[in-house]
Structure 1
Amino acid sequence: MNKNYNHYKITLEHIHSPKSEDLHRRVEVVFDNHDNLFNTIDMLQDKDLFNDMGQSTEFAIGLKMFGEVLLKNKDNALFEEFFPAFKDFMKKLKGN
């Protein structure tokens, strides 16, 4: 963990399966992020881009978690073509 970053823990629970599949075990992940995720959630809820506060929260968490992994691995060949588009996307999002 980077002491200069914010630290978070997320717990994911599988609470229903429409296909009567076994529910998966609970997963907890501890991670750090250079941004305050709660500020990002608030900002995206205020923008109300999806007319749904729940989706705004999902989007904020997913985007910031993915973005941090992307930044830490920007030289990975997997992200070679995607990274420039992600930068443009983030500029557009922050501009709205």
Structure 2
Amino acid sequence: MEKRNNRYQIDLKELSLKDSSEASKNISFEFENHDDLFKIFDLIKTKNLFEDEKTSLEFSLGLKLFTEVLITNKNHTLFEDLRPAIQEFMKKLKST
């Protein structure tokens, strides 16, 4: 049986740039993830790991995007040394 994933879309737009140049770039893309990201966002927020909600959302989204790429490309040599550390990190995070 084929495993089904959740589908999402990210829309990212430059608002301002530190060098004061015009912010005009944007990108939009779809991706899949095996987890319900909105449940994870809520879970991380309720754990109060960070002082503010914005940091919790940035952390959750970045981690889930990265770990899904790692899972999907588990045999890629780029992740060889990182995989054990990420597994330990995820165990620690889930036990928090």
Question: Does the alignment reach a TM-score above 0.5?
Answer: yes
Q: Which residue of 2 aligns with 1:21?
A: 21
Summarize the Cα distance change of 1:89–1:32 in structure 2 as closer, same or farther, 3 Å threshold.
same
- Partner of 1:41, secondary structure, is helix
Q: Which residue of 2 aligns with 1:73?
A: 73
State how 1:1-16 maps to structure 2 within 5 Å: 4-16=4-16
Q: Unaligned regions of 5+ residues in structure 2, if any? A: none
Return the TM-score normalized by structure 1.
Answer: 0.93
Q: Unaligned regions of 5+ residues in structure 1, if any? A: none
Q: CA deviation at 1:21?
A: 2.4
Amino acid at match of 1:60: S
Greater mean alpha carbon deviation, residues 24-33 or residues 78-87: 24-33
State how 1:44-63 maps to structure 2 within 5 Å: 44-63=44-63
Q: CA deviation at 1:24?
A: 4.4
- Partner of 1:11, secondary structure, is strand
Greater mean alpha carbon deviation, residues 19-28 or residues 48-57: 19-28
Summarize the Cα distance change of 1:84–1:15 in structure 2 as closer, same or farther, 3 Å threshold.
same
Indicate the RMSD between aligned Cα atoms, in angstroms: 1.4
Identity %: 42
State how 1:85-96 maps to structure 2 within 5 Å: 85-96=85-96
Distance 1:76 1:22 in 2: 38
